[in-house]
Structure 1
Amino acid sequence: MTFRVGDHLYLRVTPLKGTQRFHVKGKLAPRYIGPFKITERRGDVAYQLELPLELSDVHNVFQVTQLQKCLQVPDKPDLYKDVDHQAIDLQPDLTYRERHICILDEAEWRTQSRTIKYFKVQWSNHTEAEAT
């Protein structure tokens, strides 16, 4: 995949390694932040991005596997529905920690030998509609 200087891209982020919810790692975690502008091409598969001051401790050159093309750059920040890099506590290695906010619902499922409880949990950085 190739991009041009001046294009806007989303940057891939991942949940903190080792955090697990219901034996699934990062199921509803935000995958990309941005968009960020390409300032320079570095080699065949790397691009330098224009990052804001909040991400100044993050190296600004990324491989294409960590980037996703932005098809339309939003004009106003309130219309931008993706995860804002300022809203999450992003670490220098582009990871963040998910925390549960509240339990929205609970249910029981009974088998012949046992009862299994299910909880619907709302996670940080997600809306109530995205609860699992």
Structure 2
Amino acid sequence: MAGLLFPKKDWLDGEELVGRLMSSFNEDRKLNVDVQEFPDHYEVKADLPGFEKDEITVEYDSEILIIAAEHTEQKEEKEETTGRYLRKERSTTALRRQFVVKNVDDEKIAATFENGVLSLNLPKVEADQSTRKKIDIQ
């Protein structure tokens, strides 16, 4: 045939199709986070629908804020009379994001979780509490 109705470059080969499917799957599983800076603090809001408070971990270490969440769901269907499994399914969702957030008073960080939204308030270190240290040269 002299020409094709659909040029080959418009078709996806198997590897490219899998790559696009995985990309869209990962996009759906992304942890969406808003970070706002104010003169005296930072506010962080993370969307975690479907998670419970005890499935969420927030850590602040060496100027890095880490938000992680893991949810495992098990569905079991048993045959009523004998108790043998007809189907047993498990799924795990794990999300993690980390940010560099400097000059935070880590002793005063506050976190709440309500209606699927994690809210963090990270007070800034006051100027006289700065972690900056002048080093004398010998």
TM range (shorter): under 0.3
TM (norm. structure 2) is 0.23
Rg larger in 1 or in 2?
Answer: 2
Normalised by the length of structure 1, the TM-score is: 0.23
Greater share of helix: 2
More strand by share: 2
